[in-house]
A and B are shown apart, each in its own frame.
Chain A
């Protein structure tokens, strides 16, 4: 089995348009959740979100590209360019056949669906722009990333709701580990902050109107975010031979299905995924210093997740740190695991644990070290990233300090 390392990272999210700015925000415990700036906001009962502000696609893409790129694709390409630039890789030669893309997105081009439904339903028009289908399809971002960088190996998109990115990165990890590919661009993207995208979530009655406060007794729901994060996963020897800077090593991955409920989380399913990732990485629980929680800020998720962590780690659950950065960037749905992997890299590499902000009151059902409100310095050897999706599909990644 091959070893797999991360040699590039890129992102755009509510906190910043790059990794450096996102790390700064994590360190400062800054909140990126604001009043939404979208069409027909007055008809929404939820008016906040982790929205990407000051986004100027014309500065990044030409007119023909914009005609084909939904916002979730634009976010992906921006993050992908940052990640590839950092890796220093070039895919002109033989490597292009041994490199691919696996991305996660829950819903793909939601803004494109939304805009064009308006055209035909609200405005009553009988024709839409010819590129609606290639723009909204869930694999558009993966395909454009492959075209931008000449990646000709296995490429596809994974959709497992809020676990999409973790499932995608798990696939990329498996492909390199098994020797199928040398390099994979992986991560995820979501752009659901439009009228229809928020209206759909409102229906579930799980959204907070004021803030995302994971693990806090007074938490009152999740807050949607948007953006992308893309990573370069590379076979260890390949990276070492070219003297690449290694951000972290991916050492384990596991996925489970609750097979119980379409929306309610399940402690056993989550615990099996966490324990499975440790087993896959051949790690003992007490080696884990940090967990980036799924931590949505809903009553159900946070207590179930804490119970699962307590079950898996026993007494060590009280010693490790667990935080939810969704309190800062919101829940990026299918893109969330990718942005959250950045917090794991920061913990391993910089020794800084991103906090859970908005934390106001301890909840006896979430009695773990949730790094409330202020970042913490700590030397961490192993970090986990949890994602537990609607539909009961769980995916957990294990990362190790390079």
Chain B
């Protein structure tokens, strides 16, 4: 079965129009060309895929509890949300 990491990378790769192999936990969203519109679509896709609610406010991304500083931080945050749900 796909891990949370696999699925998150696939979502981000899909938004960045890249192959999943080009997206690593160390990548930042800016490096991948994810703009603010693609970011809200990414968050929507994460919520739909994992049936979670992501605490993200597009007005103040930095102040959100959801850490988007890198792909790895997003994966970790999603893992926490999935664990909290279970």
Chain A residues with a Cβ under 8 A of chain B: 64, 67, 127, 129-131
Contacts and interface: CB of A to CB of B under 8 A. Distances in A.
A188 to B, nearest CB: 27
Query: What band does the interface of chain B fall in when counting residues whose beta carbon is under 8 Å from A?
Result: under 10
B41 A127 contact: no
Contacts of A64: 38
A298 B37 CA distance: 45
A131 B41 CA distance: 8
Tell me whether chain A's interface is mostly helix, strand or loop, or mixed. Answer: loop
Contacts of B41: 67, 129-131
A64 B41 CA distance: 10
B19 interface: no
A67 B14 CA distance: 13
Contacts of A129: 41, 44
A130 B40 contact: yes
Nearest to A63: B17
Contacts, number: 16
A131 B37 CA distance: 8
Given A67-B41, A131-B40, 14 more contacts: A64-B38, A127-B44, A127-B47, A127-B48, A127-B53, A129-B41, A129-B44, A130-B37, A130-B40, A130-B41, A130-B43, A130-B44, A131-B37, A131-B41
Nearest to B48: A127
**Most-contacted residue by chain B among A67, A129, A130 (CB, 10 A):** A130
Contacts of B44: 127, 129-130
B17 to A, nearest CB: 8
16 contacts: A64-B38, A67-B41, A127-B44, A127-B47, A127-B48, A127-B53, A129-B41, A129-B44, A130-B37, A130-B40, A130-B41, A130-B43, A130-B44, A131-B37, A131-B40, A131-B41
Interface in B22-48: 37-38, 40-41, 43-44, 47-48
A131 to B, nearest CB: 7
A122 B36 CA distance: 30
Smallest CB-CB A-B distances: 3 pairs = A130-B40, A130-B44, A130-B41
Contacts of B38: 64
A129 B43 CA distance: 10
A130 B57 CA distance: 12
Contacts of A127: 44, 47-48, 53
B34 to A, nearest CB: 12
A131 B35 CA distance: 14
Nearest to B42: A130
Contacts of B43: 130
A136 to B, nearest CB: 16
A314 to B, nearest CB: 59
B56 to A, nearest CB: 11
Contacts of B37: 130-131
A32 to B, nearest CB: 36
A257 to B, nearest CB: 40
A131 B40 CA distance: 9
A143 to B, nearest CB: 14
Contacts of A131: 37, 40-41
B15 to A, nearest CB: 9
Nearest to B15: A64
Nearest to B38: A64
A64 B43 CA distance: 15
B45 to A, nearest CB: 10
Contacts of B48: 127
Contacts of A130: 37, 40-41, 43-44
A354 to B, nearest CB: 43
A127 B48 CA distance: 9
Nearest to A130: B40
Contacts of B47: 127
Nearest to A128: B44
A130 B47 CA distance: 11
